[in-house]
Amino acid sequence: MKSGYKVYIADDHTLFRKAMVTLLQTFDRVAVVKDAENGRELINLVKSETPDVVIVDLEMPIMDGSATCEHLIAKYPDVKLIILTMHDSNKFILHMMEMGVHAFLLKNVEPEELEKALYSVIEKDFYHNDLVASVLRKNVRDREKLPRNKPLFQQGELTEREKEILLLICQEMTMKEIGQRLFLSENTVRNHRVNIMDKVGVNNIVGLVKFAYEAGIVS
């Protein structure tokens, strides 16, 4: 067996699921692929052997994608989660981002983007695509229409270096790549990231990206 990542997929449409399994097995850095037809079956697979990534259909019988992800985030926080959906529902995607899901892909995604998303969530903790960007931009516009009793966290509360690092995180650069760009050690970049998370009150990269849009650091 080739060395590489373990990827599980849950989808109740057998033909689509089996086609996805066949596709995933062609990816150079994927070693193991297992499939389930609903969330409950997927969770049983994860209990037996923890994967690197799970790809979850949003709409499934018995246990849907939302309930499945909520369980996995609570019990297996190191497993990366990719949601497959037929609908670009802003409200639902935003809710699941806040929950901690790492990537969202429409079911008509091209194989190249699926592979890119897979590696991105493992290596960078998030996949920032056009679908996510459009949802976050709409969220910012909606928030601007609402009356506010207190101001949002102001980006000025971050240092210029922290804003610079946050912007590069949103561009999906790794800690090592950011360090090379800014002539900093990887540990220094990681410490900056921890400080930014502490300041803005989030605990993952998904939260940082969402904050960056809301604070106007990413337009």
Those residues whose C-beta lies under 8 Å from the C-beta of residue 43, and which sit 6 or more positions away, are 63, 68, 71, 72
Numbered ranges of CATH 3.40.50.2300 in the chain = 5-137
Cα atoms found within 13 Å of the Cα of residue 152, Cβ hemisphere only = 13
pLDDT (0 to 100) of residue 148:
58
d(CA 99, CA 93): 10
Q: Where are the CATH 1.10.10.10 domain residues in the chain?
A: 152-214
217 neighbors 163 (Cβ within 8 angstroms): yes
The Cα–Cα gap between 113 and 118 comes to 8
What is the DSSP code (8-state) at residue 3? Answer: -
pLDDT at 218: 86
Question: If one looks up domain 152-214 in CATH, what number appears?
Answer: 1.10.10.10
Assess if CATH 3.40.50.2300 describes domain 5-137: yes
Is the torsion defined by CA of 24, 59, 133, 198 positive or negative? negative
Sheet with 53-57, side-by-side order of all strands: 30-36, 5-10, 53-57, 80-85, 103-106
CA 176 to chain centre: 19
The residue ranges of the chain whose pLDDT is under 50 are 151, 155
pLDDT in the model for residue 155? 47
The pLDDT assigned to 153 comes to 53
Q: What is the DSSP letter of 156?
A: G
Percent residues over pLDDT 70 in the chain: 94
Q: Which of 210, 174, 171 is nearest to 190 (CA)?
A: 174
